[in-house]
């Protein structure tokens, strides 16, 4: 896991640096994020509301994951299971909101990876590549959180049952490993939020 956690940031760094380079070098006007990512409620456009909610949900999931690791070390199967499910639910909620955001941009705004009616054509390619790559990481994390939660509640970690993602008897290291991955995904979102949505 440490090799992954050391190598994957390079990919995200390359994507974000490429985004910044393209944005600074394009001659076409870059769309204003406050307008593009605004959410209309009761006839009034509220800038970055959906993105703020998405960020809150993902950061909150980091808290539930930290508590799951704590209860895993205490060998409290029930609380570890519940908190892993809460983390997975928050992650799935984030992905669902991201799907809503993509639908809004594609259907209502006409933004595509190869074109953008609101300005620079590179905007769509950069947006869909970066947020899609991150969304894939979150989706994979949700799947593995559900697998880990199932193993915890069945007692596979306490009895060292053979199988996929089973550690040493009585050890909840897999919960901590999932925690490392989940915190990484959350940290990457903070950088994406700052660079893509606020800049």
Would you write out the chain's pLDDT as a tens digit for each of its 199 residues? 678 778 889 999 999 999 999 999 999 999 998 889 988 888 888 999 999 999 999 999 999 999 999 999 999 999 999 999 999 999 999 999 999 999 999 999 999 998 889 899 899 999 999 999 999 999 999 999 999 999 999 988 888 776 766 666 667 889 999 999 999 999 999 999 999 899 8
The Cβ of residue 169 has, within 10 Å, a number of other Cβ atoms equal to: 10
pLDDT at 41: 87
Tokens encoding 155: 């007692």
Prediction pTM value: 0.92
pLDDT at 126: 94
Q: For residue 118, with 0-12 CB atoms within 10 Å meaning exposed, 13-18 middle and 19 or more buried, which class applies?
A: middle
* Domains in the chain with CATH codes: 2-197 (1.20.120.80)
pLDDT at 159: 80
């Amino acid at each position: 896991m440490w090799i992954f956690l050391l190598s994957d940031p390079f990919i995200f760094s390359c994507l974000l640096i490429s985004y910044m380079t393209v944005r600074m070098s394009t001659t076409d006007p870059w769309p204003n994020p406050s307008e593009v990512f605004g959410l209309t409620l009761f006839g009034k456009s509220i800038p970055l509301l959906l993105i703020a909610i998405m960020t809150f949900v993902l950061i909150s999931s980091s808290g539930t994951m930290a508590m799951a690791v704590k209860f895993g070390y205490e060998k409290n199967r029930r609380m570890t299971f519940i908190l892993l499910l809460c983390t997975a639910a928050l992650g799935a909620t984030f992905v669902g909101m991201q799907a809503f955001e993509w639908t809004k941009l594609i259907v209502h705004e006409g933004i595509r990876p190869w074109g953008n009616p609101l300005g620079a054509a590179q905007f769509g390619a950069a947006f869909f590549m970066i947020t899609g790559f991150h969304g894939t990481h979150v989706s994979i994390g949700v799947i593995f959180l559900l697998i880990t939660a199932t193993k915890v509640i069945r007692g596979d970690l306490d009895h060292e049952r053979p199988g996929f993602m089973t550690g040493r008897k009585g050890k909840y290291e897999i919960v901590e490993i999932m925690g490392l991955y989940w915190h990484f995904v959350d940290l990457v979102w903070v950088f994406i939020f700052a660079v893509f949505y606020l800049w």
